[in-house]
């Protein structure tokens, strides 16, 4: 706690800087997403949209999605949020494509994590205190309450993410009886198939939690231990010793043998007047480095030859039990052989073997050599009376005592501290102790693992390597599954055993009904301690009492049973839409979890399905990575944890949804950066602006759609950009459909983003703008709005899975009013069908060519100082082949390049007035020569822009009519403008225009004088600042930035714009 590193900030707060595009989010025009989200979430609930959805899809085919249950220890973290969002996208998409999605969320509620939390709250130190001070029933009740309280909290967090249309009122919860019975059923099925057995094996146990732990519950951490080299005196030889090494001195109490590798070479070495035996490969280094002498090898032998060499156990006097072993077993305290577990890489090549304290020791010492698995420890890791003088000592404290004793006896050679990895309890971080225990196992190794491998090969994994490599490797190494835990908070093992010695009767019950029938008793609760009270006479020997095995089930088995155990929650009380019996369970069509679930849920699901029914549990699996922060894992201790709330508050849940979807790569970690997160908001903002613009346009024009769909519209509407956007839309919908069908949510998000930003916002809406202006052709304008409407309607549908709130907003507050038969919610609509006939690859390709050409013309104009709004005389494109058939795009080129004429040629010789450029193999020329009409228009364009700017400055709205007076002494200016009076009236909402040399209007609302360059061939607006600066500097002249001419300030042409509201 006190070290300097932890003094850094404790939590990763979102940065306070605001990128330019995010400034002033509380401005009048700002789109404040979080507020809107809360409003829509509320609206969904008040309008019972979810109920409507369920009603609608009742008769549809089932898409069986199963939610991997998060553990109810506390608030969700950002990874859980990510996980739920991805699932939500698929759920929404599948719904829209006509499936009844099983959308039941789940919660994992049993197990050690909650017990540990409760123990902290209740301040208990061990299991005994739980039973004696608290009472098991009270303890269980508080665990239950804790889990349920957390569950409600998490429910709300998930809903806030936009994951609203899930069955939050009825999640599956592993602590409910219906669920627990599902686990019982599974264990009973496994028992019937002969796959349940009791094993007597050394297991890692947590001395604090007093229970056995499975491998996936180990947490390796570095630990400092004392390692020692000691010598064992060889019996029958005067001065000869076996030298061994160990990092766990306390296990010497239970030492039964020494293991040697039969193939390894061993030497007898003379040291300090004694003969030591050890591996040849180790002797030189050990003796020189650790003892400080030069070894003298006096003989060599193989491991094989060492076999049977008996030695004196160093703690024979302290542990009397060892004397018994020495007498009872001729091979006790002798060298035994193991090829597999003995190497010369470390230690001395002779390995101390304590069969009661290690799996390998057990295998070689107990299973192969039939030596006793001596394990004189209790549940709390203390020596039992069999431990002799060490009785009552905690093993990790006993280390020092053992070492002291060895020192005393002179058998200790070297003592050193080593820092090595050691297994710790995943929950309480206590170092684990191997002990031999009776535990219950499911036979998942061997034949069953092979079955799983076969089934796994048929499963569709995304990404592919997750199944083909990662999970495959896991299954290859799969071993029997120890399912018993010596704890309280879990599903009790449904196994009853007979108290009579010799009566091996075992009864496994599959349900409450069955238990009540067999026992003749009412069962209050399937949990401990209530179920422990159920005892009954053994039906086999008729003498003994059948008593439940004390243990509870490994919590991973809980969630592994979800395919059937959740039936009640998923299908409702009447099970009208699903299987009632556990027997008839259906595999999931789709699951999605993080890569930690390879050994977790993916594994337990597969195991439970095969164990109970020899069937696979899932068809499509998506595996994701973890969320990291700036390249590092998020850890509370590092203080770099980003909470979902923080992100939501900053930019809204929909921004978060887009961020974590578009930035992911299947199976890989999502690297969180605040900068990128903020950037994702731009997509949302652009999208929103598209709809706002359309809404304004539609309102202004009183638009009412007439066309049934795009296809029928385009039968009459021959406009190329309408046909182009229709094609792009359908191409995009097609690609999005394919992506989502393949569970590639990132690709879907990218296609959607590109479509919104590039095609709709920067592309179509820009192209269509002029057609929507006041003076445009009515027919064309109507077509444009029709197309725009169809486009936005389709867009609102395809964005619904990822932007459920924004889609709802644009539907509810805008588009639905224009639909013939609008649904109440966009989420009651269907995913659009691709109109393949509207996809025109040629058109799309041609548009790209045009796009490149236009890009080039902009570049050329910039270089030549020709503003885009100034019209040019002619654009010439020259290419041998590319331009064939592109004539139909000439109007767009003309408009977008702002030229009066477009010429397509195969070759062209440019003249003096031509600018030249090149775009993707097409030669581009712009004729920049001006005639009088062009020049007048050029001037007018600048003027018009300034007029619009001043309208805005005068806080006039679009559509507000004004009377305008332009006062200037320049007759030339008045002449130029006179040509465009009608245009001004139409496009700048002016009812009357006066061109004059003297003020005529009285009382104007707004007046400003503009200055223009006096050069009659230039006549561009001069910035007020430029003139001001020149005056300040005492200059008499001002330099025009366009024609570069120096002009006396008094010659500058003043043009005053004066206007007032019409009718006012």
Partner RNA sequence: GCAAGGAUGGCCCAGCGGUCAGGCAGAAUCCUGAUAAGGUUCCCCACGCAGGUUCGAUUCCUGCUCCUUGCACCA
Nearer to RNA, 759 or 840 (CB): 759
Min dist CB 990 to RNA, Å, is: 11
What is the C-alpha to C-alpha distance for residues 430 and 992, in angstroms, rounded to an integer? Answer: 88
Residues 533-562 that bind RNA (CB under 7 A): none
Nearer to RNA, 692 or 981 (CB): 692
Nearer to RNA, 324 or 360 (CB): 360
Q: What is the DSSP letter of 126?
A: S
Q: Is 628 helix (H, G, I), strand (E, B) or coil?
A: strand
Residues 163-222 that bind RNA (CB under 7 A): 215-216, 218, 220
What is the C-alpha to C-alpha distance for residues 50 and 30, in angstroms, rounded to an integer? Answer: 30
Nearer to RNA, 650 or 827 (CB): 650
Binding mask 306-345 toward RNA (x if CB under 7 A, else -) reads -----------------------------------xxx-x
Q: Which two tokens stand for residue 477?
A: 């190494």
Min dist CB 317 to RNA, Å, is: 22
Q: What is the DSSP letter of 881?
A: S
Stretch that binds RNA, among 137-145, 810-818, 851-859, 971-979 (CB under 7 A): 851-859
Min dist CB 177 to RNA, Å, is: 32
What is the C-alpha to C-alpha distance for residues 965 and 956, in angstroms, rounded to an integer? Answer: 16
Answer for which of 859, 890, 930, 981 binds RNA (CB under 7 A) is 859
Stretch that binds RNA, among 312-320, 613-621, 692-700, 906-914 (CB under 7 A): 692-700
Residues 399-438 that bind RNA (CB under 7 A): 420-423
Residues 29-68 that bind RNA (CB under 7 A): 29-30
88: left (phi over 0), alpha (psi -120 to 50) or beta: alpha
Stretch that binds RNA, among 34-42, 188-196, 643-651, 688-696 (CB under 7 A): 688-696
Residues 927-946 that bind RNA (CB under 7 A): 945
Nearer to RNA, 247 or 731 (CB): 247
Q: Report the DSSP beta bridge partners of residue 63.
A: 101
Is residue 23 near RNA by the rule CB under 7 A?
yes
DSSP output for 89-119 = HHHHHHHHTT-EE----EEB--SHHHHHHHH
Element (H, E) at 558: helix 555-560
955: left (phi over 0), alpha (psi -120 to 50) or beta: left
What is the C-alpha to C-alpha distance for residues 35 and 47, in angstroms, rounded to an integer? Answer: 18
Q: Which two tokens stand for residue 773?
A: 């202006």
Q: Is 124 helix (H, G, I), strand (E, B) or coil?
A: coil
Answer for which of 14, 389, 503, 692 binds RNA (CB under 7 A) is 692
Answer for which of 43, 60, 396, 474 binds RNA (CB under 7 A) is 474
Is residue 696 near RNA by the rule CB under 7 A?
yes
Nearer to RNA, 167 or 761 (CB): 761
Nearer to RNA, 188 or 861 (CB): 861
Residues 557-596 that bind RNA (CB under 7 A): 595-596
What is the C-alpha to C-alpha distance for residues 28 and 863, in angstroms, rounded to an integer? Answer: 38
Return the ∠ at Cα 159 (arms to 157 and 163), rounded to 5°: 125
Min dist CB 518 to RNA, Å, is: 38
Nearer to RNA, 208 or 951 (CB): 951
Q: Report the DSSP beta bridge partners of residue 632.
A: 629
Answer for which of 242, 598, 623, 627 binds RNA (CB under 7 A) is 598
Min dist CB 577 to RNA, Å, is: 37
Min dist CB 786 to RNA, Å, is: 18
Min dist CB 127 to RNA, Å, is: 26
Residues 639-668 that bind RNA (CB under 7 A): 663, 665, 667-668
Stretch that binds RNA, among 59-67, 106-114, 841-849, 863-871 (CB under 7 A): 863-871
Is residue 469 near RNA by the rule CB under 7 A?
yes
Min dist CB 1063 to RNA, Å, is: 17
Stretch that binds RNA, among 36-44, 669-677, 716-724, 779-787 (CB under 7 A): 669-677
C-beta atoms surrounding 273 within 10 Å: 6
Min dist CB 693 to RNA, Å, is: 3
Burial 294-331 (b: 16+ CB within 10 A, else e): ebeeeeeeebeebeebbbebbbbebbebbeebbeebeb
Burial 957-967 (b: 16+ CB within 10 A, else e): eeeebbbbbbb
Nearer to RNA, 22 or 391 (CB): 22
* Size (the chain), residues: 1064
Burial class (CB in 10 A: 0-12, 13-18, 19+), 1027: middle
Answer for which of 358, 616, 644, 871 binds RNA (CB under 7 A) is 358
Dihedral sign for Cα atoms in the order 653, 658, 661, 664: negative
Min dist CB 773 to RNA, Å, is: 8
Answer for which of 50, 107, 172, 245 binds RNA (CB under 7 A) is 245
What is the C-alpha to C-alpha distance for residues 968 and 974, in angstroms, rounded to an integer? Answer: 7
What are the counts of helices (DSSP H) followed by strands (DSSP E) for the chain?
Answer: 35, 40
CA of 287: how far to CAs of 258, 270, 294, 349, 840, in Å? Answer: 20, 10, 7, 14, 83
Matching residue, tokens 């598209």: 690
Residues 763-782 that bind RNA (CB under 7 A): 765-766, 769
Matching residue, tokens 């993916």: 602
Query: Of 431, 536, 572, nearest to 103 (Cα)?
Result: 572
Min dist CB 189 to RNA, Å, is: 26
- Find out whether 374 and 313 touch, Cβ atoms under 8 Å: no
Nearer to RNA, 163 or 598 (CB): 598
- Find out whether 337 and 302 touch, Cβ atoms under 8 Å: no
Is residue 27 near RNA by the rule CB under 7 A?
yes
Q: Which two tokens stand for residue 305?
A: 């030859």
Answer for which of 1041, 1044, 1046, 1064 binds RNA (CB under 7 A) is 1041
Nearer to RNA, 765 or 993 (CB): 765
Contacting residues for 169 by C-beta, under 8 A, at least 6 apart:
none
Residues 951-970 that bind RNA (CB under 7 A): 951-952, 954, 956-958
β-pairing, 172-173 vs 106-107, is parallel
Q: Is 31 helix (H, G, I), strand (E, B) or coil?
A: coil
Answer for which of 486, 948, 1026, 1062 binds RNA (CB under 7 A) is 948
Nearer to RNA, 645 or 918 (CB): 918
Nearer to RNA, 117 or 348 (CB): 348
Min dist CB 958 to RNA, Å, is: 4
Is residue 715 near RNA by the rule CB under 7 A?
no
What is the C-alpha to C-alpha distance for residues 391 and 383, in angstroms, rounded to an integer? Answer: 4
Binding mask 122-161 toward RNA (x if CB under 7 A, else -) reads ----------------------------------------
Query: Of 301, 435, 426, nearest to 379 (Cα)?
Result: 435
Residues 612-631 that bind RNA (CB under 7 A): 631
Residues 248-267 that bind RNA (CB under 7 A): 248, 251, 259
Element (H, E) at 246: strand 240-246
Nearer to RNA, 308 or 633 (CB): 633
Nearer to RNA, 69 or 202 (CB): 202
Task: Output phi, psi for 336, to 5 deg.
Answer: -115, 170
Min dist CB 155 to RNA, Å, is: 28
Size of the site for RNA (CB under 7 A): 90
Min dist CB 685 to RNA, Å, is: 6
DSSP output for 187-255 = HHHHHHTT-EEEEEEEEEEETTTTEE--GGGEEEEEEEEEEEEEEEEBTT-SSEEEEEEES-GGGGGG-
């Amino acid at each position: 706690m006190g070290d300097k590193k932890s003094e850094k900030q404790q939590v990763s707060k979102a940065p306070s800087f605001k990128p330019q595009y995010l400034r002033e989010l509380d401005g009048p025009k700002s789109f404040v997403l979080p507020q809107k989200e809360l409003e829509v979430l509320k609206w969904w609930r008040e309008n019972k949209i979810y109920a409507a959805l369920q009603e609608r899809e009742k008769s549809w085919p089932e898409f069986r999605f199963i939610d991997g249950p998060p553990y109810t220890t506390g608030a969700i973290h950002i990874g859980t949020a990510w996980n739920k969002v991805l699932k939500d996208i698929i759920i929404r998409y599948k719904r829209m494509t006509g499936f009844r999605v099983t959308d039941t969320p789940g919660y994992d509620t049993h197990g050690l994590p909650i017990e540990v939390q409760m123990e902290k709250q209740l301040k208990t130190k061990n299991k005994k205190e739980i039973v004696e001070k608290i009472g098991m029933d009270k303890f269980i009740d508080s665990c239950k309450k804790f889990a349920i309280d957390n569950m409600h909290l998490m429910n709300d967090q998930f809903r806030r993410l936009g994951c609203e249309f899930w069955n939050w009122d009825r999640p599956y919860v592993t602590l409910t009886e219906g669920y627990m019975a599902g686990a019982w059923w599974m264990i009973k099925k496994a028992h019937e198939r002969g796959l349940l057995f009791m094993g007597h094996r050394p297991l890692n146990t947590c001395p604090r939690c007093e229970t056995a732990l499975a491998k996936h519950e180990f947490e390796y951490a570095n630990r400092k231990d004392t390692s020692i080299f000691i010598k064992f005196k060889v019996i029958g030889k005067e001065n000869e010793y076996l030298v061994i090494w160990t990092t766990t001195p306390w296990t010497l109490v239970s030492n039964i043998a020494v293991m040697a590798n039969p193939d390894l070479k061993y030497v007898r070495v003379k040291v300090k007047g004694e003969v030591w035996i050890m591996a040849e490969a180790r002797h030189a280094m050990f003796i020189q480095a650790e003892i400080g002498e030069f070894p003298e090898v006096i003989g060599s032998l193989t491991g094989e030859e060492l076999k049977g060499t008996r030695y004196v156990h160093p703690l024979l006097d302290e542990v009397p039990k060892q004397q018994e072993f020495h007498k009872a077993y001729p091979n006790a305290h002798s060298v035994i052989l193991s090829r597999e577990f003995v190497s010369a890489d470390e230690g001395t090549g002779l390995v101390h073997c304590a069969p009661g304290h290690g799996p390998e020791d057990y295998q070689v010492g107990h299973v192969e050599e039939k030596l006793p698995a001596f394990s004189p420890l209790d549940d709390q890791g203390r020596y039992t009376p069999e431990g002799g003088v060490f009785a009552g000592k905690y093993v990790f404290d006993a280390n020092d005592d053992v070492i002291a004793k060895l020192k005393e006896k002179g058998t200790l050679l070297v003592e050193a501290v080593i820092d090595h990895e050691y297994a710790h309890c995943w929950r309480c971080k206590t170092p684990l102790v191997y002990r031999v225990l009776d535990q219950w196992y499911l036979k998942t190794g061997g034949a069953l693992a092979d079955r799983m491998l076969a089934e796994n090969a048929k499963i569709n994994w995304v990404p592919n390597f997750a199944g083909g490599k990662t999970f495959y490797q896991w299954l290859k190494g799969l071993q029997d599954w120890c399912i018993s835990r010596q704890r309280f908070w879990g599903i009790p093992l449904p196994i009853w055993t007979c108290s009579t010695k010799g009566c091996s009767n075992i009864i496994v019950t599959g349900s409450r009904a069955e238990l009540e029938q067999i026992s003749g008793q009412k069962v209050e609760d399937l949990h401990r301690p209530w179920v422990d009270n159920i005892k009954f006479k053994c039906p086999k020997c008729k003498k003994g009492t059948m008593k439940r095995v004390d243990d509870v089930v490994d919590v991973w088995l809980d969630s592994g049973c979800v395919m059937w155990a959740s039936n009640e929650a998923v299908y409702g009380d009447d099970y009208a839409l699903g299987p009632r019996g556990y027997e008839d369970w259906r595999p999931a069509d789709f699951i999605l979890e993080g890569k930690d679930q390879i050994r977790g849920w993916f594994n337990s699901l597969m195991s439970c399905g095969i164990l109970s029914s020899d069937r696979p549990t899932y068809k499509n699996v998506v595996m994701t990575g973890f969320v990291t922060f700036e390249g590092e894992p998020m850890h509370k201790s590092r203080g770099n944890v980003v909470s979902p709330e923080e992100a939501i508050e900053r930019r809204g849940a929909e921004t978060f949804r887009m961020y974590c979807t578009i930035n992911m790569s299947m199976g890989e970690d999502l690297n969180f950066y605040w900068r990128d997160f903020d950037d994702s908001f731009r997509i949302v903002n652009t999208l929103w602006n598209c709809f706002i613009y359309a809404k304004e346009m539609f309102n202004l024009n009183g638009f009412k759609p007439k066309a049934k769909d795009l296809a029928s519209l385009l039968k009459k509407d021959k406009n190329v950009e309408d046909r182009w956007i229709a094609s792009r839309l359908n191409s995009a919908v097609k690609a999005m459909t394919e992506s989502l069908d393949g569970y590639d949510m990132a690709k879907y998000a990218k296609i959607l983003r590109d479509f919104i930003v590039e095609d709709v916002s920067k592309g179509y809406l820009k192209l269509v703008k002029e057609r929507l202006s006041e003076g445009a052709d009515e027919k064309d304008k109507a077509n444009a709005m029709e197309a725009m409407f169809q486009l936005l309607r389709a867009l609102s549908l395809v964005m619904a899975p990822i932007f459920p709130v924004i889609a709802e907003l644009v539907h509810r507050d805008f588009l639905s009013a224009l639909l013939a038969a609008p649904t109440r919610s966009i989420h009651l609509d269907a995913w659009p069908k691709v109109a393949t006939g509207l996809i025109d690859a040629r058109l799309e390709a041609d548009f790209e060519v045009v796009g490149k050409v236009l890009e080039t013309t902009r570049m050329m104009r910039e270089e030549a100082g020709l503003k885009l709004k100034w019209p040019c005389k002619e654009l010439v494109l020259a290419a041998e082949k590319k331009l064939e058939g592109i004539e139909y795009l000439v109007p767009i080129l003309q408009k977008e390049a702002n030229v009066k004429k477009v010429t397509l040629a195969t070759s062209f010789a440019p003249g003096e007035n031509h600018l030249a450029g090149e775009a993707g193999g097409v030669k581009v020329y712009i004729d920049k020569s001006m005639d009088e009409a062009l020049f007048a228009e050029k001037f007018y364009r600048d003027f018009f822009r300034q007029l619009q700017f001043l309208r805005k400055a005068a806080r006039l709205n679009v559509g507000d009519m004004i009377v305008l007076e332009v006062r200037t002494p320049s007759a030339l200016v008045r002449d130029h403008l006179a040509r465009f009076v009608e245009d001004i009236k139409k496009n700048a909402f002016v009812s009357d225009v006066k061109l004059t040399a003297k003020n005529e209007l009285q009382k104007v609302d707004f007046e400003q004088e503009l200055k223009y360059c006096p050069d009659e061939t230039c006549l561009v607006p001069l910035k007020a600042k430029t003139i001001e600066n020149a005056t300040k500097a005492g200059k008499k002249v001002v330099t025009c930035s366009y024609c570069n001419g120096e002009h006396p300030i008094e010659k500058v042409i003043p043009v005053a714009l004066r206007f007032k509201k019409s009718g006012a």
